[in-house]
Amino acid sequence: MADITRRLAWRHLRGAPTAHIRHHRSGKLLHDGPGLSFWFRALTAALSEVPVDDRELAMTFHARTSDFQDVAVQATVTYRISDPALASARLDFSVDPDTGVWRGAPLEQLGTLLTETAQQHALAVLARTPLASALVDGVTAVRERIAAGLDTEPRLPATGIEVVAVRVMALRPEPEVERALRTPAREQIQQEADKATYERRAVAVERERAIAENELDSQIELARREEQLVDQRGTNARREAEEHAAADGVRAEAEATRTVRLADAEAARSVRLARAEAEGSREVGDARAYAQAAWLRVHADVDVATLNALTGTRLAENLPNIDSVTISPDVLTGLLARLGAGGGEAGA
């Protein structure tokens, strides 16, 4: 929209670089070009503002495929007005000299023209295409058909319109049909997911089995080594016991030899001692016998009274010491009686 300011009966217009301004007065073209700025009188001026920038026209329409399925087409057409003079002559781009607002709706007319032309060619190509093919390759086919149809449309060049680009974003079936079409794919994806899950579980089970087998092999190897260790320990124990037994045998033999030697020495010493004791006893006996014989020979010629005296003396020598003698009256009486009797006999 042009920027117009008021100064009494005069108006000042300042256009944008992307807007082509055409100023007529009394049927004569005074100003023509983009980004103009000039003064004019509102009562005698006829102004047109034609946008020359690229414009995007989004469109959504429904079509039917060859198998009678409805699809929604989402597309965008980029266009621009390449001939502003021709466009202003074919469409109403006039603006109010006081406000700068379009008096008509030229862009809506262009949008309707482009939408109907694109829809016509899209319907033509989709009407010969089944739904499955349209969903797979329909975007490219529809885009190419719309672009070709707009290039060959005679009204667009005659209006000064140039199509820059055509884009088709999506072809969407009805929600129920889309869900029905998604079901097999979802089932297949689910099956593949289940298959991947089962394969992953199988791989995990296989790995667990391999781990268990490795652990079992390790345990078997450990048991075998433990068995070897036990055998080796038993062998070592036997060798040690044999060595200890041999050492004990050597020690016992040495001890027995020493004991035998000691016993032999002790027996020899005992024999010698016994012989010496026997010899001594024999010699003592001989000496005693010789002394006794000599004593007997000495006393053989002695009278009986002398022998009795010697006997009493020997007996007195061998008696223990008597400190005191107690004589009871009975004993004394008997002794006195015996003495009396002895005295009588002696007097007689």
* 58-107 tens-digit pLDDT: 999 999 999 888 999 999 999 999 999 999 989 989 999 888 898 889 99
Q: How far apart are CA 55 and CA 298, in angstroms?
A: 185
- Average pLDDT of span 190-209: 88
Specify the higher pLDDT residue, 32 or 323. Answer: 32
3-class DSSP assignment, residue 333 = helix
Cα–Cα distance measured from residue 184 to residue 245, given in angstroms and rounded to the nearest whole number: 88
H-helix segments, 153-174: 155-159
Phi, psi of 15 (to 5 degrees): -95, 165
The pLDDT value given to residue 304: 64
Select the more confidently predicted residue: 285 or 55. Answer: 55
pLDDT above 70 for 323: no
Per-residue confidence band for 346, with pLDDT thresholds at 50, 70 and 90: very low
Condensed to tens digits (0 to 9), the pLDDT of residues 103-162 reads 889 999 999 999 999 999 999 999 999 988 888 888 999 999 999 999 999 999 999 999
pTM, two decimals, is: 0.53
> How far are the Cα atoms of 96, 119, 194, 202 from residue 206, in angstroms, in the given order?
84, 59, 18, 6
**Per-residue pLDDT, 332:** 67
- The predicted pLDDT at position 300 comes to 64
309 confidence band (pLDDT: 50, 70, 90): low
pLDDT for 348 equals 47
Q: Is the pLDDT of residue 224 over 80?
A: yes
Element (H, E) at 62: strand 55-64
- pLDDT (tens digit per residue) in 163-185: 999 999 988 998 888 888 778 87
At residue 298, the pLDDT reads: 65
Residue 192 pLDDT grade (very low, low, confident, very high; cuts 50, 70, 90): confident
Output the pLDDT for position 301. Answer: 65
Indicate the SS3 state at residue 166: strand
The mean pLDDT value of the chain amounts to 84
3-state DSSP assignment of residue 296: helix
Q: Give phi and psi for 343, each to the nearest 5.
A: -70, -40
**Going edge to edge, which strands form the sheet with 10-14?**
3-7, 10-14, 37-41
In the chain, what is the greatest distance between 2 CA atoms, to the nearest angstrom? 236
Write down the pLDDT at residue 268. 77
Q: Could you tell me if 107 and 115 are in contact, meaning their C-beta atoms sit under 8 angstroms apart?
A: no
pLDDT at site 308: 66
Question: Is pLDDT at 319 greater than 80 in this prediction?
Answer: no
Question: Residue 60: which residues within 8 A CB-CB, separation 6 or more?
Answer: 72, 73, 74, 75
- What's the confidence (pLDDT) of residue 175? 86
The total of other beta-carbon atoms located within 10 Å of residue 207's CB is 10
> How is the beta sheet containing 55-64 ordered, strand by strand?
55-64, 70-81, 161-173
Residue 290 is predicted with a pLDDT of 76
- Here the tokens at position 30 are 């005074």
Query: How far apart are alpha carbons 238 and 160 in whole angstroms?
Result: 117
